[in-house]
């Protein structure tokens, strides 16, 4: 019980530290949001002014923007550790490695949730989609997707943070693994936006929960090894 | 002068009444690619001793300290810290050995106090006690006037002082200091000397790697000199060149790989 409480304190301390760094380094977080919004705008230009086409593509484009922004977020949260040799110090603290992973993943999920939450109205405005009463299932889909993405993104960012070509290696290694989660998140978002006429939203959300659990278990199990030299 | 509390990890009871040495390495070697940074070091350091680790650049001082701290694993050899097999149970060693590295390992967007409170939580202090020991450590290293200042505004010397404060917040039984005087002004160097003295009094085993040979040797019980990844000289009390009967052949084999 003591170990659990200590692990929880460690995870919260890491998440709080990362959140403070994100809030105070507003330029980086703001740039990520701006970049993701720009992705949405450019895809809008590429698809043309056909509003039906835009509405059909909106769930996929929203998740592409979240994924691009998420990759930057995951890399940045680990760059914090690499800047002054803090990653080695983090590995040397006498704490459970799973608690370190939980803290980093929690911070990543929180930042991605805020990013997704801010991108939703931008999608609605840019692609003229009435969100109406769909905001709750949309937020749930974004939250579950963000948790899964952060769960696996934290592990991969831990793997690539010591690499020289980490900016390239993180998406290269992570995107193939995250594809099934992305598919479920897009389907859940599309079902939410269309009012779920086929009653499939629940199934996609359940699949997202299953992906989240798997990725959290795999991430927590492997992160400790990544901290080792 | 602010009050300084030296927190020390509790001693482990030795088997059959014997007290294990603080550090016991046998033919410790570490290769980076084909180059041997450490080529077979067998060293024993008694509990509570202060050891000066000397040698030219590239002698293997930092590599040895990083292996002892469990930051990196050796390519060959064994090591025990306070009788604990560091290769099998590194997490137990991390609760006892604290490493002060060249990199100060701070978070730039956090204030000095936030950095220390974070470290205090990681070292197992509760919320309230963590705040108290952090403030006390900041006062000891002379940064109490900068507690609320973000670390990105700190000079190299201030960053080093904050790293020393982090060591104070930990409760080590073995302290591994890598060039602790580097980047510090005269007052800062005197502070390091005073802290080493306090740790020594408290019974903490201290290993100090430094190019300031005279300075650290005057404080040390023993001097260990490394050259080319090998032990060149061990003198003084409390440190010896490996456990009795340690084989020396493998270090030659490892050293050859360097060529």
CB contact under 8 A, A85 and B99: no
Q: Establish if B9 belongs to a structural domain.
A: no
What is the domain partition of chain A in residue ranges?
A: 2-227
Residue A156: closest CA among A67, A71, A93, A98? A71
Same structural domain, B89 and B31: yes
Q: Looking at the domain assignment, is residue B15 inside a domain? A: no
Q: Indicate the length of chain B as a whole number.
A: 259
- According to the model, what pLDDT value does residue B176 have? 97
Same domain for B186 and B228, yes or no, is yes
- Residue B17, pLDDT score: 58
Question: Do the bridges between strand B23-32 and strand B76-81 make them parallel or antiparallel, or are there none, so unpaired?
Answer: antiparallel
Measured in whole angstroms, the distance separating CA B167 from the mean position of its chain's CA atoms is 9
Q: Which of A25, A86, A229 sits opposite B106 (nearest CB)?
A: A86
- Closest partner residue to A88 (CB to CB) among B71, B73, B114 is B71
| C-alpha atoms less than 13 angstroms from C-alpha of A214 in its C-beta half-sphere | 11
The answer to whether the Cα torsion of A52, A54, A56, A59 is positive or negative is negative
CATH code at B143? 1.10.8
For residue B117, the chain A residue with the least C-alpha distance is A13
* Mean pLDDT of each 10-residue bin along chain B, 259 residues long: 71 63 94 90 94 94 96 94 93 93 93 97 93 96 95 95 96 94 93 95 95 91 94 90 52 43
- SS3 for chain B is CCCCCCCCCCCCCCHHHCCCCCEEEEEEEEEECCEEEEEEEEEEECCCCEEEEECCCCCCHHHHHHHHCCCCCCCEEEEEECCEECCCCHHHHHCCEEEECCCCCCCCCCEHHHHHHHHHHHCCCCHHHHHHHHHHHHHHCCCHHHCCCEHHHCCHHHHHHHHHHHHHHCCCCEEEEECCCCCCCHHHHHHHHHHHHHHHHCCCEEEEECCCHHHHHHHCCEEEEEECCEEEEEEECCEECCCCCCCCHHHHHHHHHCC
Per-residue pLDDT tens digits for A210-227: 999 999 999 999 998 888
Closest residue of A to B103, CA-based?
A85
Task: For residue A229, give the chain B residue with the closest CA.
Answer: B72
Cα distance between residue B61 and residue B57, in whole Å: 8
Are A21 and B150 within 8 A, CB to CB? Answer: no
Which of B95, B109, B154 is the best residue to mutate to test the A interface, defined by the most A CB atoms within 10 Å of its own CB?
A: B109
Among candidates B95, B104, B109 on the partner chain, residue whose Cβ is nearest the Cβ of A25: B109
Contact between B102 and A89 using a beta-carbon 8 Å cutoff: no
Q: What is the CATH number of the domain that holds B29?
A: 3.40.50.300
Handedness of CA A93, A94, A96, A99 (dihedral sign): negative
Q: Are residues B87 and B132 in the same domain?
A: no
Q: Are A77 and A108 in contact (CB under 8 A)?
A: yes
In this complex, do B73 and A6 lie within 8 Å of one another by their Cβ atoms? no
How many Cβ atoms sit within 10 Å of the Cβ of residue A53? 12
Q: How many A/B residue pairs have CB atoms within 8 Å?
A: 74
Tokens of B57: 């650049």
pLDDT score, position A2: 74
Q: How far is B38 from chain A (nearest CA, A)?
A: 16
CB B203 within 8 A of CB B126: no
The boundaries of the domain holding residue B134 are 99-171
Choosing from B138, B171, B204, the residue where a domain stops is B171
Considering its fold, how many domains does chain B have in total?
Answer: 2
Confirm if B115 and B107 have CB atoms less than 8 A apart. Answer: yes
- B27 and B70 housed in the same domain: yes
Q: What does the pLDDT read at residue B82? A: 92
Give the Cα separation of A159 and A156 in Å (integer).
Answer: 5
Q: What is the pLDDT of residue B243?
A: 57
Candidate from A10, A17, A93 with C-beta closest to B107 = A17
Mean pLDDT by 10 residues, chain A (229 residues): 85 95 82 92 88 89 94 91 89 94 96 93 89 86 96 94 86 93 94 84 94 96 86
The number of beta carbons lying within 10 Å of the beta carbon of residue B140 is 23
Is B150 in CB contact (< 8 Å) with chain A?
yes
Distance from CA of B206 to the nearest CA of A (A): 17
Please check whether residues B183 and B89 belong to one and the same domain: yes
Residue B5 lies in a domain: no
Distance from CA of B89 to the nearest CA of A (A): 11
* CB–CB contact A89 B72 (8 Å): no
pLDDT of residue B245: 42
Taking contacts as CB-CB distances below 8 angstroms, the residues of chain A near B127 are 9
Q: Model pTM?
A: 0.88
Q: Provide the ipTM.
A: 0.89
């Amino acid at each position: 019980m003591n170990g659990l409480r200590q692990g929880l304190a460690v995870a919260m301390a890491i998440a709080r530290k990362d959140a403070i760094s994100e809030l105070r380094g507003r330029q980086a977080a703001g740039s990520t949001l701006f970049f993701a919004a720009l992705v949405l705008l450019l895809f809008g230009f590429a698809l043309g002014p056909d509003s039906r086409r835009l509405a059909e593509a909106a769930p996929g484009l929203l998740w592409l923007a979240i994924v691009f922004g998420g990759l930057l977020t995951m890399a940045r949260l680990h760059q914090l550790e690499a800047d002054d040799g803090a990653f080695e110090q983090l590995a040397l603290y006498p704490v459970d490695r799973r608690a370190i992973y939980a803290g980093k993943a929690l911070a990543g999920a929180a930042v991605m949730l805020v990013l997704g939450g801010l991108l939703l109205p931008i999608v609605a405005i840019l692609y003229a989609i009435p969100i109406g009463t769909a905001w709750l299932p949309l937020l749930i889909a974004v939250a579950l997707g963000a948790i899964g993405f952060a769960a696996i993104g934290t592990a991969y960012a831990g793997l690539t943070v010591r690499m020289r070509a980490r900016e390239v290696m993180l998406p290269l290694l992570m995107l193939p693994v995250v594809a099934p989660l992305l598919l479920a998140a897009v389907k859940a978002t599309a079902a939410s936006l269309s009012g779920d006429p086929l009653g499939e939203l629940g199934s996609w959300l359940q699949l997202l929960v299953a992906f989240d659990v798997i990725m959290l278990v795999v991430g927590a199990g492997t992160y400790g090894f990544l901290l080792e030299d | 002068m602010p009050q300084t509390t030296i927190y020390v990890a509790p001693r482990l009871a030795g088997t059959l009444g014997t007290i294990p040495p603080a550090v016991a390495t046998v033919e410790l070697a570490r290769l980076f690619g084909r180059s041997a940074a450490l080529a077979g070091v067998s060293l024993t350091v008694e509990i509570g001793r202060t050891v000066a680790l000397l040698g030219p650049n590239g002698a293997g001082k930092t590599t040895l300290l990083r292996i002892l701290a469990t930051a990196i694993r050796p390519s060959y050899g064994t090591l025990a810290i306070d009788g604990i097999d560091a290769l099998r149970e590194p997490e137990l060693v991390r609760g006892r050995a604290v490493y002060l590295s060249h990199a100060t390992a701070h978070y730039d967007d956090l204030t000095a106090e936030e950095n220390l409170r974070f470290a205090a939580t990681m070292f197992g202090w509760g919320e309230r006690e963590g705040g108290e020991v952090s403030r006390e450590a900041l006062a000891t290293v002379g940064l109490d006037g900068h507690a609320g200042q973000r670390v990105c505004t700190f000079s190299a010397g201030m960053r080093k002082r904050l790293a020393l404060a982090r060591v104070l917040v930990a409760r080590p039984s073995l302290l591994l200091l890598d060039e602790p005087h580097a980047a510090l002004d005269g007052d800062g160097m005197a502070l390091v000397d005073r802290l080493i003295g306090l740790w020594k009094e408290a019974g903490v085993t201290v290993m100090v790697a430094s190019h300031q040979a005279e300075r650290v040797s005057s404080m040390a019980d023993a001097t260990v000199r490394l050259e080319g990844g090998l032990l060149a000289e061990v003198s003084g009390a409390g440190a010896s060149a490996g456990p009795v009967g340690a084989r020396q052949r493998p270090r030659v084999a490892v050293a050859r790989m360097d060529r």
